[in-house]
């Protein structure tokens, strides 16, 4: 069984970098169960922000590196809705 979920912006954004590869950044994520997530809202009517931090490959000297992906509230909501739809269909 194959389950695939996309949101309306996926098709438009996934084409970025097909003509010029420098317009797309791809990080090699380590095989790890570790992920950092921070969701912030200053008050009940303040904008929401979300930051996802994942470990990526180590530097040449062996130092740990992470990829930080900050999202605004609208982007976080789109991510939540796509994940929610995917996991509800997968069950």
Question: Domain limits of the chain?
Answer: 25-90
Phi, psi (degrees; rounded to nearest 5) at 48: -95, 145
**For residues 28 and 56, is the Cβ–Cβ distance under 8 A?**
yes
Give 5's contacts (C-beta < 8 A, 6+ positions apart).
82, 85, 86, 89
Q: Which residue has the higher pLDDT, 59 or 54?
A: 54
pLDDT in tens, 19-50: 888 888 888 888 888 999 999 998 988 999 99
Name the more confident of 91 and 5.
5
Residue 8: its pLDDT value, please? 84
> 91 to each of 28, 67, 86, 87, how far by Cα in Å?
29, 30, 9, 7
Question: What confidence score (pLDDT) does residue 1 get?
Answer: 62
């Amino acid at each position: 069984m194959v389950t695939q979920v996309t949101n309306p912006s996926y098709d438009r954004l996934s084409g970025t970098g097909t003509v010029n590869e420098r317009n797309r950044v791809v990080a090699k994520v380590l095989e790890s169960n570790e992920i950092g997530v921070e969701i912030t809202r200053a008050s009940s009517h303040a904008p929401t922000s979300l930051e996802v931090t994942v470990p990526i490959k180590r530097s040449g000297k062996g130092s740990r590196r992470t990829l930080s992906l900050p999202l605004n509230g609208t982007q976080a909501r789109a991510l939540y809705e796509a994940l929610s739809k995917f996991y509800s269909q997968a069950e």
